[in-house]
Amino acid sequence: MTAARQPIGVIGTGYVGLVTAAGFAQLGSEVYCVDIDADKIGQLQRGEVPIYEPGLGELIADNRERLHFSTVLDEAVEHARLLFVCVGTPPTHSGDADLSAVHAVVDAVPSSAEHALVMKSTVPCGTGRSLRRVLSEQGKGAIDYVSCPEFLKEGSAINDFMHPDRVVIGEEEGSPAGDAVAELYESLEAPLVRTDVASAEMIKLAANAFLATKISFINEIANVCEETGANVLDVARGVGLDDRIGPRFLQAGVGYGGSCFTKDVSALKLLAANSGYHFQLLGAVIEVNELQKRRVVAKLQRHLGNLAGKRIAVLGLAFKPNTDDMRGASSLVLAARLAAEGAHVRAYDPVAAGEAKKVMPQLDCGDSVLEVVSEADAVVLVTEWPEFLALDWSEVAARMSGKLVIDGRNALDPVVLDAAGLTYEGIGRP
Ligand code: UGA
């Protein structure tokens, strides 16, 4: 298996699959995309992009002649040797990863010494080994297997694909597919980590768990700052300038959301537990994050007293800006807690309101910031969309009936809010 720019197959057209497909098409590969969802494939064939990811639509349009979409595997198997597996691995009720979509792919690939499965989906450490066993049992032991975990972030996924911090390739000894994957990524000039399959799987889980730990750590520091009068923004800057720590993922806030951290931290904790090891640190990371999502309620109560009947405007629903993804979003916990306290919540998000309504149909969403802040007793900023950072706060103040603004992302300027006559409270800021 040689030669860069060889055609590839991409199985699964979610965030990871579509970005991988569009990215490799942009680098010059013919890409054969497969998904069992006929509606999604129909949309893609018509040039419509079923998810919101900045730049993805343009990249797909620019490379339309190199991107092929189908509901069946045949074309991908016919044209491509490397089949990138990008299917979902959501948590089951037990918190373990649901690998049924991965197993469906394994069942569907034909027996072939020519092909390799390249696992992009996040899977527990040990999955490669067990899939290898299943393939052998099905008489398809000749298929090669590579673990190539994805590190893209929603909202900046195209940039992450084009400028990866590293490319991790987990391969079996003597397998040619690892070289073929390395060649595909060569022009991106990223550091390559070539290792065994289990280590590659663990790198992905450990990276996400460490980033989540960094966030829970700074959130706890912020909570202590609130007790001691220190400012977490200065603390994070002072700490992050240490090369050994680094400045990123030290923004205190209302907790991390998204499907990946929530899922992967639990998956790693359970993976350890299932093999008899109690991963204490991750238990604390998860608990701190859950409490952090709820702390805003206590802040509101401190200022407003009983929240029954109070009008609270929530700015931002998506788990972070530049995405419509609502999975694991802190806004869901906050809105549900406020409703349980009897508050009336009105929310606005420039992109994610539709997705939010799917998971929380009773949520009252408005069409603009000024609409939802009207008559509000308090405003809570949950997602730091650029639109909110550029708001005219005097106009917001004029519409509100109260004065309180809780900045759940430390994204606003307290001086500006103060000048508008508003009472500002951030996370860990005096
Ligand atoms: C995360 C990882 O960052 C990616 O490297 C990984 O590929 C991806 O999961 C995955 O496993 O697929 P993502 O979930 O898209 O990416 O989003 P992040 O940018 O990491 O943000 C996650 C959450 O942490 C957001 O809710 C964000 O607001 C929060 N966050 C982030 C903080 O609260 N503080 C920070 O300093 C940084």
152 Cα nearest atom in ligand 1: 7
The pLDDT value given to residue 1: 42
pLDDT over 90 at 207, yes or no: yes
- What pTM, to 2 d.p., does this model score? 0.94
What angle in degrees, to the nearest 10, is found between the helix axes of 127-137 and 100-108? 40
Q: Can 260 be counted among the known catalytic residues?
A: yes
Average pLDDT, the chain: 96
Q: Report which protein residue has its CA nearest ligand 1's atom 1.
A: 153
Res 97: pLDDT: 84
SS3 call for 314 = strand
Q: Quick check: helix, strand or coil at residue 192? A: strand
Percentage, residues of the chain above pLDDT 90: 93
Q: Is the pLDDT confidence value at 3 over 60?
A: no
* Closest protein CA for atom 2 of ligand 1: 153
Count how many residues are written for the chain.
430
8-195 against 209-425: fold identical: yes
Helix (H) or strand (E) holding 222: helix 197-228
- pLDDT at 38 > cutoff 50: yes
Cα–Cα distance for residue pair 84/97, rounded to 1 Å: 19
359 pLDDT band, cuts 50/70/90, is very high
209-425: CATH, from 3.30.1300.10, 3.40.50.720, 3.60.15.10, 2.40.40.20: 3.40.50.720
| Residue 175 banded pLDDT, cuts 50, 70, 90 | confident
Q: Hey, whose CA ends up nearest to atom 12 of ligand 1? A: 260
Element (H, E) at 293: helix 280-304
Is the model's pLDDT at 174 over the cut of 90? no
- CB-based burial of residue 242 (10 Å sphere; 0-12 exposed, 13-18 middle, 19+ buried)? exposed
Rounded distance, CA 108 to CA 106, Å?
A: 5
CA 410 – CA 239 distance, rounded (Å): 17
CA 90 to ligand 1 center in whole angstroms = 16
- The CA-atom distances, in angstroms, between 215 and each of 165, 218, 219, 319, 349 are 20, 5, 6, 14, 23
Q: Which CATH code for domain 8-195?
A: 3.40.50.720
Residue pLDDT, tens place only, 116-153: 999 999 999 999 999 999 999 999 999 999 999 999 99
* The pLDDT value given to residue 93: 81
Q: What is the mean pLDDT of residues 401-428?
A: 98
Does 196 or 430 have the greater pLDDT score?
196
Q: pLDDT at position 4, please?
A: 52
Instruction: Give the pLDDT score at 100.
Output: 97
Domain chopping of the chain, boundaries? 8-195, 209-425
